[in-house]
């Protein structure tokens, strides 16, 4: 009887544990010029290639982190678990398994795959595809990781309406330098490769950023997660996964595709927001609007409000006209009051500039915002 009692208690307790409801930590960014900021991760793996989790777990993780758009991009040419995952020969299977969970959690699941070759040319992701099977090395099924058939696979993906981007360029090392493989560069010139992964996991690649600007490519940031997401974040000591902020007209796959084609993306990596200035500046200003200000003699008081989940650090750029001793730190969803003593006494407007320590327009140039205060 005692054994039965403890067995019952154990079963009840485990049932409660496994019946817990999934919890979502909300991540918010404001609209900018009628565009909403969708949070996307277009590079993840499961047991159907060389990952360690089931496809539905990738969806649960995305829900937990408030990801809007996710793509499972298992390697077509790497199936390390095929002895245990007997359906791994179906190159669309991970997507099919995840689809129901994505619909349940209201996450946009984009069909994708990773085209895997030796270096060079390396790895490339194709998303918004219709069928992964034809992308498997069509010219060398015996040794699918060999470079042969790379251009063919990319062109097939494009024929299916896919969006193709070049992955983790820092894998392409020559004498400790990151180089652009000629095979990839040729496909970029042919407009077969649309974007480049500037951020992969915990690493930012400055060469990739420069190539994106020079070659007019879409900036992409992804987790490339293989383990569980909590483990990956713990190993790299990061608060949130690397992700792409997609400035989309609507929360639909079609709008996501359109925004990627139009290069309307920013990178969110290690609490930094990075991107082209023409998109980054209005985005940051929408995140931290100047709410109000008052002048009393030579005393200027103004208020910033942070309406986003991003923490901002604003370093004042003092001049002969004013002096601000300390950075303005705006935690997520907060307001800050700034008091400034203006040195000159006249009726002219006062212009105050801040350097954003965690908002970059490239690897070395931080965004500068200027505000004008009329007396």
Which pLDDT does position 362 carry in this prediction?
Answer: 82
Q: What is the pTM of this model?
A: 0.91
Share of the chain above pLDDT 70, in %: 92
In tens, the pLDDT along 95-149 reads 999 999 999 999 999 999 999 988 889 899 999 999 999 998 867 766 777 777 8
Taking CA atoms, 216 is separated from 20, 45, 276, 322, in Å, by: 46, 28, 11, 40
Which pLDDT does position 15 carry in this prediction?
Answer: 41
Which pLDDT does position 20 carry in this prediction?
Answer: 63
- Judged against a pLDDT cut of 60, whether residue 1 lies above it is answered with no
In tens, the pLDDT along 344-361 reads 777 788 899 999 999 999
Choose the weakest-confidence range: 37-41, 142-146, 257-261, 273-277: 142-146
- Judged against a pLDDT cut of 80, whether residue 13 lies above it is answered with no
Find the mean pLDDT for residues 358-373. 91
Which pLDDT does position 138 carry in this prediction?
Answer: 67
pLDDT category of residue 175 using cuts at 50, 70 and 90: low
Taking CA atoms, 211 is separated from 177, 200, 324, in Å, by: 14, 15, 37
Domain boundaries, the chain: 16-270, 288-373
In tens, the pLDDT along 154-163 reads 999 999 999 9
Which pLDDT does position 16 carry in this prediction?
Answer: 41
Q: Do domains 16-270 and 288-373 have the same CATH topology?
A: no
Find the mean pLDDT for residues 61-75. 97
Determine how β-strand 195-200 pairs with β-strand 290-296: unpaired
pLDDT category of residue 6 using cuts at 50, 70 and 90: very low
Find the mean pLDDT for residues 215-225. 97
Taking CA atoms, 356 is separated from 28, 192, 300, 329, 340, in Å, by: 19, 35, 21, 10, 18
Which residue is it, tokens 């544990």?
Answer: 17
Output the six-digit token pair for 269. 């990596």
Q: Which CATH class is domain 288-373?
A: mainly beta
Strand ranges for 161-298 from DSSP E: 163-166, 173-174, 177-178, 195-200, 203-204, 218-222, 243-248, 265-269, 272-274, 290-296
Which pLDDT does position 2 carry in this prediction?
Answer: 47
Q: Could you tell me which residue, 76 or 198, shows the higher pLDDT? A: 198
Which pLDDT does position 52 carry in this prediction?
Answer: 94
Over the chain, what is the mean pLDDT?
Answer: 90
Other CB atoms within 10 Å distance of the CB of residue 100: 12
Topology (CATH) of 16-270: TIM Barrel (3.20.20)
In tens, the pLDDT along 293-328 reads 998 888 999 999 999 999 999 999 988 888 888 999
Q: Could you tell me which residue, 22 or 236, shows the higher pLDDT? A: 236
């Amino acid at each position: 009887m005692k054994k039965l009692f403890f067995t019952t208690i154990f079963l009840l307790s485990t049932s409660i544990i496994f019946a817990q409801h999934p919890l979502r930590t909300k991540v918010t960014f404001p609209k900018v010029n009628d565009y909403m900021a969708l949070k996307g991760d277009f590079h993840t793996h499961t047991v159907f290639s060389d990952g360690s989790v089931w496809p539905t777990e990738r969806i649960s993780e995305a829900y937990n982190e408030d990801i809007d758009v996710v793509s499972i991009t298992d390697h077509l040419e790497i199936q390390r678990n095929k002895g245990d995952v007997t359906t791994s020969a179906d190159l669309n299977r991970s997507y099919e398994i995840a689809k129901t969970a994505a619909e349940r959690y209201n996450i946009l699941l984009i069909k994708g795959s990773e085209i895997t070759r030796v270096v060079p040319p390396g790895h490339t992701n194709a998303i918004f595809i219709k069928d992964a099977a034809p992308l498997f090395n069509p010219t060398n099924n015996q040794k699918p990781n060999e470079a042969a058939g790379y251009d063919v696979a990319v062109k097939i993906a494009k024929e299916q309406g896919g969006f193709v981007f070049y992955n983790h360029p820092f894998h392409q090392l020559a004498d400790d330098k990151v180089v652009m493989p000629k095979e990839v560069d040729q496909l970029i010139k042919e407009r077969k490769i649309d974007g480049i992964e500037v951020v992969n996991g915990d690493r930012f690649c400055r060469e990739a950023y420069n190539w994106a600007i020079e070659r007019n490519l879409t900036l992409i940031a992804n987790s490339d997660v293989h383990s569980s997401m909590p483990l990956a974040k713990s190993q790299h000591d990061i608060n949130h996964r690397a992700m792409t902020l997609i400035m989309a007209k609507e929360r639909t796959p079609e709008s996501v595709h359109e925004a990627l084609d139009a290069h309307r993306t920013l990178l969110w990596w290690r609490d930094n927001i990075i991107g082209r200035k023409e998109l980054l500046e209005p985005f940051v200003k929408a995140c931290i609007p100047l709410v109000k200000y008052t002048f009393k003699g030579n005393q200027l008081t103004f208020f910033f409000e942070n309406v986003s989940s991003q923490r901002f650090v604003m370093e004042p750029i003092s001049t002969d006209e004013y002096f601000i001793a300390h950075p303005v730190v705006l935690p997520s969803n907060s307001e800050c009051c700034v008091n400034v003593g203006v040195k000159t006494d006249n009726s002219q407007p006062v212009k105050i500039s801040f350097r954003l320590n965690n908002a970059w327009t490239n690897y070395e140039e931080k965004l500068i915002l200027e505000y004008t205060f009329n007396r």
